[in-house]
């Protein structure tokens, strides 16, 4: 459908809807229809993708629905969970434990559905995700460690990958070393910043990478904002809080962060 035809033929504001009067429900209206079904480009239905994935066991792990946009297979150590995050990111996690014995969800991959949105279906996306879930389930769960060989080397590899793939308006600025076990990768914003929700201006994007005493690599992605009318450079809430293990496949760590920043 052409966009101008969409505007002229659709009751955009609901004035002609049979349900417009006092919210009364009409027997002639299909109430299963969602507002996004009438958009020129129909977005992927994340709840329906979860419906499709929930139909199958993952090995001997039984699925159960946590939330409309989240599915978990199994319980306890080795359980696998899928959830939709911001920007249609699919986050896949696996249950493990810290050195203190605390249960921890370890990030195993982040898959963005934006690249599949045009010319694809929920069935196709669910098939792609299911392949990743099966691959993860066939490998042992990752474990914590009391030491890490060279966190700085990992940080540099992450930064080099992000420099290649990050899109405007972000661009790589620097790596700040707090100590041997804590680093910050900083991305600046071109121009005078970019307006973000809540009358805020995005000034920078930070990725804090820390190897903690619990034997886990914790990664926290946050933004630095200022009010539109002034420059304050305030730290916002975390966009992503991810956990990785020192013995984990390095590509899983790099590609997960690359997906976040590439589709920022």
Specify if 235 maps to a domain. yes
Structural domain harbouring 1: 1-41
Specify if 142 maps to a domain. no
162, 221: one domain: yes
10, 88: one domain: no
Specify if 236 maps to a domain. yes
185, 159: one domain: yes
Amino acid 31: pLDDT: 45
Among the candidates 104, 137, 170, a domain finishes at 137
- Report which of residues 164 and 235 the model is more confident about: 164
51, 80: one domain: yes
Of 66-75, 109-118, 199-208, the least confident:
109-118
**Residues 86, 101: contact at Cβ < 8 Å?**
no
State the total domains in the chain: 3
Question: If we measure between CA atoms, which residue out of 161, 162, 90, 93 comes closest to residue 127?
Answer: 90
Strands across the sheet with 63-67, in order? 63-67, 70-73, 80-84, 89-97, 103-112
Amino acid 192: pLDDT: 58
Specify if 145 maps to a domain. no
Please list the residues that pair with 209 across neighbouring strands. 183, 219
For residue 88, pLDDT beyond 90 = no
Among the candidates 114, 137, 160, a domain finishes at 137
User: Could you tell me the pTM of the whole model?
Assistant: 0.78
Question: If we measure between CA atoms, which residue out of 223, 248, 254, 226 comes closest to residue 238?
Answer: 223
Separation in Å, CA 104 to CA 48, 93, 133, 214: 27, 9, 18, 10
Tokens 């946050």 belong to residue = 222
State what percent of residues in the chain have pLDDT above 90. Answer: 53
DSSP summary character for residue 216 = -
Instruction: Give one DSSP letter per residue of 49-117, joined into a string.
Output: HHHHHTTS-BTTBPEEEEETTEEEES-STT-EEEEE-GGGEEEEEEEEE-TT--EEEEEEEEEESGGGS
Please list the residues that pair with 39 across neighbouring strands. none
Structure tokens at 243: 């956990």
Specify if 143 maps to a domain. no
119, 200: one domain: no
60, 127: one domain: yes
The C-alpha atoms of residue 156 and residue 153 are separated, in whole angstroms, by: 5
Specify if 213 maps to a domain. yes
195, 115: one domain: no
31, 128: one domain: no
12, 52: one domain: no
Amino acid 131: pLDDT: 93
155, 256: one domain: yes
Among the candidates 84, 112, 137, a domain finishes at 137
50, 36: one domain: no
Specify if 95 maps to a domain. yes
**What values do phi and psi take at 103, rounded to 5?**
-65, 135
C-beta contacts of 166-174 below 8 A and 24+ residues apart: 166/261, 166/262, 166/264, 167/262, 167/264, 169/194, 170/205, 170/261, 170/264, 173/204
**What values do phi and psi take at 33, rounded to 5?**
-70, 135
Amino acid 142: pLDDT: 94
- Determine the average pLDDT of the residues in 51-68: 93
Amino acid 186: pLDDT: 94
For residue 22, pLDDT beyond 50 = no
pLDDT-derived band at 154 (thresholds 50, 70, 90) equals: very high
Specify if 133 maps to a domain. yes
- Chain segment 218-230, per-residue pLDDT in tens: 999 998 877 766 7
51, 129: one domain: yes
């Amino acid at each position: 459908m052409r966009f101008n035809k969409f505007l002229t033929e659709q009751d955009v504001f609901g004035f002609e809807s049979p349900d417009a009067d006092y919210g009364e429900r009409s027997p002639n209206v299909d109430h299963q229809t969602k507002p996004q079904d009438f958009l020129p480009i129909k977005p992927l239905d994340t709840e329906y993708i979860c419906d499709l994935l929930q139909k199958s066991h993952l090995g001997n792990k039984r699925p159960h629905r946590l939330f409309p946009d989240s599915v978990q297979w199994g319980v306890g150590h080795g359980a696998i969970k899928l959830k939709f995050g911001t920007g249609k990111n699919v986050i896949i996690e696996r249950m493990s434990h810290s050195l203190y014995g605390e249960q921890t969800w370890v990030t195993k991959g982040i898959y963005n559905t934006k690249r599949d949105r045009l010319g694809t279906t929920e069935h196709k996306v669910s098939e792609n995700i299911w392949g990743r879930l099966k691959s993860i389930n066939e490998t042992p769960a990752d474990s914590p460690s009391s030491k890490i060989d060279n966190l700085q080397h990992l940080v540099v590899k992450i930064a080099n990958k992000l420099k290649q793939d990050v899109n405007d308006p972000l661009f790589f600025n620097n790596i700040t070393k707090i100590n041997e076990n804590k680093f910050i990768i900083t991305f600046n914003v071109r121009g005078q910043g970019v307006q973000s929700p809540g009358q805020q201006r995005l000034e920078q994007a930070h990725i804090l990478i820390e190897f903690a005493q619990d034997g886990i690599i914790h990664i926290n992605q946050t933004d630095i904002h200022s009010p539109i009318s002034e420059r304050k450079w305030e730290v916002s809430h975390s966009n992503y809080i991810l956990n990785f293990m020192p013995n984990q496949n390095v590509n899983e760590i790099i590609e997960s962060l690359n997906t976040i920043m590439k589709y920022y």
